[in-house]
Amino acid sequence: MRHSFLLDQNRIDEKDVTKLEKIGDGFFSSVYSGVYKNKRQKIPVAIKELNKHMEPQMFEREVNVCQLTHENIVQIFGWTKHEDKPKKVMCVPQTPTKSTPEQISIVMELCQGGSVDSFIAKCQQAGPGIRIRILLQTALGLQHLHSHGIMHRDLKVENIILKDPLSNASSYKDVKAKLTDFGLSRKIDRGIASRYTATVGTPLLIAPECFDSNTYDEGVDIFTFGLVILQVFAQTTDPDEIRTDDFQINPAAITKMDIPEQVKQLIIKCCSNIKNRLKIDEVVGCLQALDKFYNK
């Protein structure tokens, strides 16, 4: 895969990274466990090898998150490039060869707890306290992104990962949730040219303003976060069941769900129209209050 730019500031010497075993596959990449040897220590890492489906802009957005450090955002250490060099054969005339493909990899924090969607599937008996703690930590990571002028644009339980494994017997104190996958993230600029019209993200979770002629901003993350709350509480996000004809959320559908009343109200407020939608600081405040209630 050929990239037209190289972000030298965040580049890691490939000699300092050792790839071990494969731990996952996705549409844009394969992920391996590994070790990153920096100046001070050897750090267990995940090595995300990008494939031809990953566009250069997505790579750049992922690496830009190197600038951010927060306990609820997966730390990205940098990136490496590997290019196999053709072997030289002595005394044999060399013929021109095609350039070998570059292997671009992103080196990031290793999290071994899996994604939150896997947790939901395996730990169906988990109580509201542990689910609220996952949501609070996710919101804190999102708050940090927004405070640094970045919107995620692809929030979903698959893009929230756990530092360590959880089980039905786990305590809320064991939760260490982190936001990841920043390939669709964009810089927020308050100028007119900064508001975006491209429809990106997971179709079932996209905010309604992304489907009409209006431009949008970081409010789309709040709308999607409201649907992530539904996912974390193992409720449907099927548009046929919870959305109106203009793709807004139907509050009546939410109120019928078997989840705590305060959680229902938070979902409705996150997924309201643009003017009435909560800001990320308000979302964090609501979840902190719920966390205090459930996790005394």
State mean pLDDT over 209-227: 85
Can you tell me the mean pLDDT for 270-287? 96
d(CA 54, CA 106): 12
> What type of residue sits at position 66?
C
Q: Which helix (H) or strand (E) holds 144?
A: helix 128-147
Whole-number Å distance between alpha carbons of 252 and 258:
13
Residue-wise pLDDT tens digits, 57-115: 778 778 777 778 999 999 999 999 876 555 555 555 554 444 345 788 999 999 999 99
Q: Which domains does the chain have, with CATH numbers?
A: 8-109 (3.30.200.20), 116-294 (1.10.510.10)
What's the pLDDT score for residue 252?
96
Of 281, 237, 260, the closest CA to residue 132 belongs to: 260
The predicted pLDDT at position 191 comes to 55
Q: What three-state secondary structure class fits 176?
A: coil
Q: What would the pLDDT profile of 126-139 be if each residue is shown by its tens digit?
A: 999 999 999 999 99
User: Is 87 known to sit in a ligand binding site?
Assistant: no
Does the pLDDT at position 12 exceed 70? yes
State mean pLDDT over 249-271: 96
Q: What is the pLDDT of residue 246?
A: 87
Q: What does the mean pLDDT of the chain come to?
A: 85
Q: Which residues contact 145 (CB under 8 A, 6 or more apart)?
A: 68, 73, 151, 152, 179, 185, 221
- Residues making up the chain, counted from first to last: 296
**Under 8 Å between Cβ of 207 and 224:** yes
